[in-house]
Amino acid sequence: MNGKDYYEVLEINCEATDRQIKESYRRLAFQYHPDRNAGDPGAVERMKGINEAYAVLSDPVKRQRYDSLRQSCGASAHDRFREGYSDNDIFRGSDINQIFEEISRSFGFRGFEDIFKEVYGTGYRTFEFRNGGVFGRGFIFTGRTGQGALRHGARQSIGSRILGKLAGYALKKMTGLGTDNGGDRYDSLRLTSEQAKNGGKVPYTDKGSSRSILISVPPGVSQGQVIRLRGLGSQGGPLTVPGDLYLEVEIARPFLQRVRSFLKDKADGLRPAD
């Protein structure tokens, strides 16, 4: 998936509707299903790619973020997107498992759990929950991936925070109850060229709460890079967890460069028209 465009991977255009995205994914998931391509490692890699592309483009928030990077970063949009999203972030709330089970029932193929175990090794885990007669199933990536792991997987433990997010999503989808977790938020972090070069602690004022916090900026951060702050997004309902805050780096030009640019603009404004 390195450097690939999610829309190209799903063989759709950027104006595709939610229905078209799902239909294309179902078609490709059937085409590259391991039970139809035994012994073909290329099909396995293709399956990983379409799984990731669908998980992103079928989620409105992730798709909006990816589209924004696609406009600003062009061919490097995928790599920039993965700087701020782990495998758990990518697949959180996805209905991929349900689609695989539908394919299994329709064509007699192996089900979701067997396929993902083959494709991703031990790097994921399924879970179930029952509450008041409501039943739900989902999956999470644990970071302990085997040979079939996605290359960009971030190492994360299985904790109540992740399970709570996934269970809450599944519960709302099944019952319509308002159990949404908090949403992700996006903002910019303005740095001087020296701060970007040297890194360190940088003050930031949260626009949501007006709270000032110190952010650890890695040395050599670049324009447009995204810094993720877990748990600083919007708060969800009761017994849920907040989303994350994503800060896009903006590096200010040095003072003399800004002065030269200002004077040039002034001079251009004073020149007579041809």
Q: What is the dihedral of CA 199, 204, 206, 209, to 10 degrees?
A: 130
What percent of the chain lies above the pLDDT cut of 90? 19
Q: Are 234 and 245 within 8 A, CB to CB?
A: no
Q: Which residue has the higher pLDDT, 232 or 33?
A: 33
- φ, ψ of residue 122 to 5 degrees: the values are -100, 20
Q: DSSP string covering 64-92, please?
A: HHHHHHHHHHGGGHHHHHHHH--HHHHHT
CA nearest to 185, candidates 208, 214, 213, 162: 208
What percent of the chain lies above the pLDDT cut of 70? 65
Tell me which of 67-71, 102-106, 177-181, 192-196 is least confident. 177-181
Q: Which residue has the higher pLDDT, 230 or 8?
A: 8
Q: Kindly report the CATH class assigned to 6-175.
A: mainly alpha
Q: What's the average model confidence in pLDDT over 225-229?
A: 82
| Confidence tier at 233 by pLDDT (50, 70, 90) | confident
Residue 119 in this model has a pLDDT that exceeds 60: yes
| Domain boundary assignment for the chain | 6-175, 185-255
- Distance, in Å, from the CA atom of 32 to the CA atom of 46, rounded to the nearest integer, reads 7
What is this structure's pTM? 0.52
Segment (H or E) for 228: strand 226-229
- Residue 203: exposure state from Cβ atoms within 10 A (0-12, 13-18, ≥19): exposed
Beta bridge partners of 201: 216
Token digits of residue 268:
């251009």
Domain 185-255: CATH superfamily, name plus number? Urease metallochaperone UreE, N-terminal domain (2.60.260.20)
- Distance, in Å, from the CA atom of 74 to the CA atom of 90, rounded to the nearest integer, reads 20
Q: What angle do CA 141, 225, 92 make, to 5 degrees?
A: 20
Q: What angle do CA 222, 214, 79 make, to 5 degrees?
A: 30
| Confidence tier at 133 by pLDDT (50, 70, 90) | low
| Confidence tier at 151 by pLDDT (50, 70, 90) | very low
Q: Which residue has the higher pLDDT, 252 or 131?
A: 252
Q: Are 155 and 215 within 8 A, CB to CB?
A: no
